[in-house]
């Protein structure tokens, strides 16, 4: 059976990130007589984050937002991420890929290719007539051009942290220090999440072994074990990567 859904990618100021520019997916039910029940999975296009599963119910004409503020796992949409929509039998029904408009070298109408925010010239700070220095309202202190910026997940933490570090220099800048602190908090949370997922895997493993010992050969064992081992391996490699990132970030504070 067909589903009547409309998708729209939007830019918005993320509440949990203090208004920082982020991306959101708006799903609208275009059916006018019935509720759509939508189960979905969000997948990291670069394969670094575990997929997140969610479920929403949309009444006729109703819209819901899937973004950092509302999605499971505080999803920060990056270029190449996608969402899989399932039908009521749990089969893949639709897939929407988040692709951003990319500008060629020098084509961006705002920065003409420098990637520097035109308002603050890439410093992240503005100085008013009274010589008061404050955070740039356009780029929110990142110094990054907001017109051509494409969030990616190249081993870095949060996409929108941008490359402020390279233009704004050192930790004496409060914006950079704040962003570093936020990254550390986010990393610690993700590390804790991963650790609990790994111990869940280990618990399942033990339970299955006990079941097999008590009831003889379990037919589901082989595929389950393989899937579980694969999952655990993925979590463990992510954990190593994240711990390394955290170490690097914490070192920069001294
Ligand atoms: Zn630009
Ligand atoms: Zn700016």
In a domain, 203, yes or no: yes
DSSP 202: H
Which residues form the domain of 43?
5-97
Nearest CA-CA partner of 231 in 199, 201, 194, 195: 201
Measured in Å, residue 162 CA sits from the centre of ligand 2 at 12
DSSP strand E in 119-160: where?
125-127, 133-135
Half-sphere exposure of 75 (CA within 13 A, CB side): 26
Domain count, the chain: 2
Ligand nearest to the CA of 118: 2
Express each pLDDT in 35-90 by its tens digit: 999 999 999 988 888 899 999 999 999 999 999 988 888 899 998 999 999 988 88
Q: Report the pLDDT value the prediction gives residue 11, as an integer from 0 to 100.
A: 83
Residue 140 included in any domain: no
Looking at the domain assignment, is residue 172 inside a domain?
A: no
Mean pLDDT of 23-30: 94
| Alpha-carbon span 226 to 110, nearest angstrom | 51
> Looking at 67, 97, 127, which one is the last position of a domain?
97
Determine the distance separating the centroid of ligand 1 and the alpha carbon of 132, expressed in angstroms: 26
The answer to whether position 151 is within a domain reads no
| Residue tagged 């999952």 (tokens) | 231
Residue 41: predicted pLDDT: 94
Is residue 218 very low, low, confident or very high in pLDDT (cuts 50, 70, 90)? low
61: domain CATH number is: 2.60.40
Distance from residue 135's CA to the centre of ligand 2 (Å): 8
Q: Is 76 a member of any domain?
A: yes
Nearest to 117 by CA among 138, 134, 99, 88: 138
Number of helices and strands in the chain (H, E): 3, 9
Q: How far is the CA of 144 from the centre of ligand 1 (A)?
A: 8
154 part of a folded domain: no
Q: In degrees rounded to 5, what are phi and psi of residue 233?
A: -60, -45
251 in helix, strand or coil? helix
Question: Rounded to whole angstroms, how far apart are CA atoms 114 and 60?
Answer: 45
Among 80, 97, 114, the domain boundary falls at 97
* Cα of 148 from ligand 2 centre, angstroms: 13
Q: Does residue 117 form part of some domain?
A: no
Q: What is the mean pLDDT of residues 168-195?
A: 73
Q: Where are the alpha helices (DSSP H) in the chain?
A: 164-168, 174-215, 221-252
């Amino acid at each position: 059976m067909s589903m009547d859904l409309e998708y729209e990618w939007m830019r918005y100021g993320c509440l949990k990130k203090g208004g920082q520019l982020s991306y959101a997916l708006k799903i609208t039910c275009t059916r006018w007589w019935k509720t759509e029940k939508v189960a979905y999975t969000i997948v990291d296009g670069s394969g670094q984050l575990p997929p997140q599963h969610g479920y929403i119910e949309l009444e006729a004409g109703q819209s819901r937002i899937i973004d950092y503020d509302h999605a499971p796992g505080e999803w920060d949409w990056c270029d190449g991420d996608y969402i899989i929509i399932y039908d009521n039998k749990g089969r893949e029904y639709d897939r929407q890929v988040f692709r951003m408009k990319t500008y060629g070298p020098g084509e961006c109408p705002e920065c003409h290719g420098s990637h520097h925010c035109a308002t603050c010239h890439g410093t992240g700070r503005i100085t008013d007539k009274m010589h008061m220095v404050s955070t740039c309202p356009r780029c929110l202190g990142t110094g990054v051009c907001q017109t051509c910026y494409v969030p990616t997940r190249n081993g870095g933490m949060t996409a929108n942290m941008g490359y402020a570090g390279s233009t704004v220099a050192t930790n004496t800048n409060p914006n950079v220090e704040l962003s570093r602190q936020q990254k550390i908090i986010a990393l610690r949370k993700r590390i804790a999440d991963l650790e609990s997922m790994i111990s869940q895997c280990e618990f399942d493993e033990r339970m299955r072994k006990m079941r097999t010992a008590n009831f003889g050969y379990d037919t589901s064992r082989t595929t389950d074990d393989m899937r579980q081992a694969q999952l655990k391996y993925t979590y463990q490699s992510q954990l190593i990567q994240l711990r390394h990132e955290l170490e690097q970030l914490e070192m920069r504070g001294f």
